[in-house]
Amino acid sequence: MAEQAEGKHGKVEWSESEVADLVDKTAALKRSMGRVIIGQENVVELLITCLLAGGHALVEGVPGLGKTLLVKSLAQATDMQFRRVQFTPDLMPSDIVGTEILEEDASTRQRSFRFQPGPVFTQVLLADEINRAPPKTQSALLEAMQERSVTFAGQTHMLPRPFFVLATQNPIEQSGTYPLPEAQLDRFLLRIDVGYPTEDEEVAMVAMTTQAGLQDAEPAMDLESLLRLQALVRDIEIGAHRCAMPRAWCGRRGRTRPRSPP
């Protein structure tokens, strides 16, 4: 579909009707997640923004605020595959990216190695309490986030598209954790703080779970539309006249290197 929209100069040409349709699907995605997530409108907005920008998000919040449910509802509303990994101190890199297993052919008795993909081979990955795993395991996941691929035994295996990682951290309890260094924090586009719900939102949560049980988010966006939306976001130009930073920071080619004061 993207190839059909290529212009003479290799730039995708967007029609007003297609853009309007994609915007409507984004609004439908928010409504679908709102059927499951009570409140937290700002968190949902930031999460969808990060997904459409093609980045990854780091979510901080105390246990019990529905972070897992938030990511699961996003995967359901976009019809993406979802997996959750609980990070612990004994978690190894092979538990994330996968490993090779030795297989024997029943007829020829010949043995060969076969790569067994790990849970990172999914479209939406929840890395729960990422700072509880040692740095070696953290780096294995962060490499996959940056390169969108996994290299094992000299072979490169591409990850599915889209690939979205949401990692969580507990901001209160820091005992027995391995804080992410600044260079690894740069792998995340946004850091999202999840706060406590209001009293009215807590009452609505109790009513939802005791009367009809938890609902699933209805599919509101297919994968093709999601990929088109990500391409549309990349095509939006932000010139110097729209830049919120001082004009000295905004170059003609999007550079943001500060100039020396006069």
The secondary structure of the chain in percent helix, strand, coil, rounded to multiples of 5, reads 40, 20, 45
Give the gyration radius of the chain's Cα atoms: 21
> Over the stretch 11-45, which tens digit does the pLDDT of each residue have?
567 778 888 888 888 888 888 888 888 778 888 88
Sign of the alpha-carbon dihedral angle for 214, 215, 216, 221: negative
User: Distances in Å between the alpha carbon of 131 and those of 58, 113, 163, 171, 257?
Assistant: 11, 32, 21, 10, 32
Rounded to two decimals, the pTM is 0.76
* 249 vs 246, more confident: 246
**Is the confidence at residue 254, as pLDDT, over 60?**
no
> Over the stretch 178-210, which tens digit does the pLDDT of each residue have?
888 887 888 899 888 887 777 887 787 777 766
- How far is it, in rounded angstroms, from Cα 175 to Cα 130? 14
> Over the stretch 113-171, which tens digit does the pLDDT of each residue have?
888 888 999 999 999 888 888 888 888 888 888 888 888 878 888 999 899 999 988 87
DSSP 119-175: TTSSSEEEEETGGGS-HHHHHHHHHHHHHSEEEETTEEEEPPSS-EEEEEE-SS--T
CB contact set of 153 (below 8 Å; sequence gap of 6+): 100, 113, 115
* 8 Å CB contact between 95 and 138: no
Residue 92 CB neighbour total at 10 angstroms: 13
Q: What is the pLDDT of residue 57?
A: 92
Q: Which domains does the chain have, with CATH numbers?
A: 3-249 (3.40.50.300)
Q: How confident is the model at residue 244 (pLDDT cuts 50, 70, 90)?
A: low
Q: What is the pLDDT of residue 245?
A: 56
